[in-house]
A = this chain, B = another copy of it.
Amino acid sequence: MKSEIIEYLNRYVETNAEEEEIFESSFNEVIIKKGQHIILPDFVAKYRSYVLKGAFRAYVLDKKGNEHTISFAIEDWWISDVNSYIYQQPATMFVAALENSIVLQLEYTKEQELKKSNHKFETFFRIIAERSAAFHQRRIISNLMFSAEERYDHFIEKYPAIVKRVPQYALASYLDMTTQFLSRIRKGKTHK
Contact = CB atoms under 8 A, between A and B. Distances in A.
A44 to B, nearest CB: 14
A60 interface: yes
Interface of A is mostly: helix
Given A119-B119, A122-B122, A126-B125, A140 B70 contact: yes
Nearest to A86: B130
A134 B129 CA distance: 9
Contacts of A87: 134
B119 A82 contact: no
A25 interface: no
Bin the interface of chain A by size: 20 to 34
Given A92-B141, A122-B122, A133 B68 contact: no
Closest A-B pairs by Cβ, 3 of them: A136-B136, A126-B126, A129-B129
A62 interface: yes
What copy number does this chain have within its complex?
2
Nearest to A68: B144
A132 interface: yes
Contacts of A176: 143-144
Interface in A102-136: 115, 119, 122-123, 125-126, 129-134, 136
A146 B129 CA distance: 26
A12 B130 CA distance: 17
Contacts of A130: 82, 86, 125, 129
Contacts of A133: 82, 86, 129, 132-133, 136
Contacts of A143: 140, 143, 176
A83 B129 contact: no
Contacts of A139: 140
Given A83-B134, A123-B115, A70 B141 contact: yes
A138 interface: yes
